[in-house]
């Protein structure tokens, strides 16, 4: 069962591995990212951040969608981490109504982005994508760590 989907450009790191993993009481972390899926060095680095008691799976976005839709992930309490708004949108759209919660936790500053919180920088296109997901019934919010207040994107 999917408990949480988080966008974080750093993927798995201390905040996710400790704060969110413990807060959500999950047992499995799925890193859904096309470039990580084929990069043994990045996989090794991500494994270092994994909580000891966690099962860690790293798959491409398409393979993640297939695993979720096949029911293979149903037996886990799952925290999914993606790198970008585009990846989150593709994952949500590809899995039907299985993902109902989207945490925007960290997106780096890039050309054309506006700052929405201390760790979230979004382009106008990304804001539109998030608003569309929200209008489709996904609970979209910005929150870096569990003890911070949730922030909703302005209309």
3-state SS class at 45? helix
Is the CB of residue 77 less than 8 Å from the CB of residue 25?
yes
Q: pTM value? A: 0.95
Is the CB of residue 122 less than 8 Å from the CB of residue 113?
yes
* 92-138 pLDDT tens trace: 999 999 999 999 999 999 999 999 999 999 999 999 999 999 999 99
For the chain, list the domains and their CATH numbers. Answer: 2-142 (3.40.35.10)
Cα of first residue to Cα of last residue in the chain, in angstroms, is 30
* 23-74 pLDDT tens trace: 999 999 999 999 999 999 999 999 999 998 999 999 999 999 999 999 999 9
Q: Which residues pair with 151 in a beta bridge?
A: 142
Q: Which residues pair with 107 in a beta bridge?
A: 120
What gap in Å lies between CA 150 and CA 130, rounded to an integer? Answer: 15
């Amino acid at each position: 069962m999917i408990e949480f989907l988080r966008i974080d450009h750093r993927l798995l790191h201390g905040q996710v591995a400790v704060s969110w993993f413990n807060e959500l009481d999950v047992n499995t972390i799925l890193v859904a990212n096309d470039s990580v899926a084929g990069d043994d060095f990045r996989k090794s680095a991500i494994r270092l951040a994994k909580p000891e008691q966690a099962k860690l799976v790293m798959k491409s976005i398409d393979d993640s969608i297939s695993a979720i839709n096949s029911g293979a992930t149903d037996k886990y309490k799952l925290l999914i981490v993606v790198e970008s708004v585009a990846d989150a949108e593709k994952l949500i759209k590809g899995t039907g109504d299985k993902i109902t919660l989207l945490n925007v936790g960290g997106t780096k500053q890039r050309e054309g982005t506006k700052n929405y919180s201390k760790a979230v920088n979004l382009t106008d296109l990304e804001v539109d994508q998030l608003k569309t997901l929200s209008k489709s019934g996904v609970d979209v919010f910005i929150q870096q760590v569990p003890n911070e207040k949730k922030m909703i994107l302005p209309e």
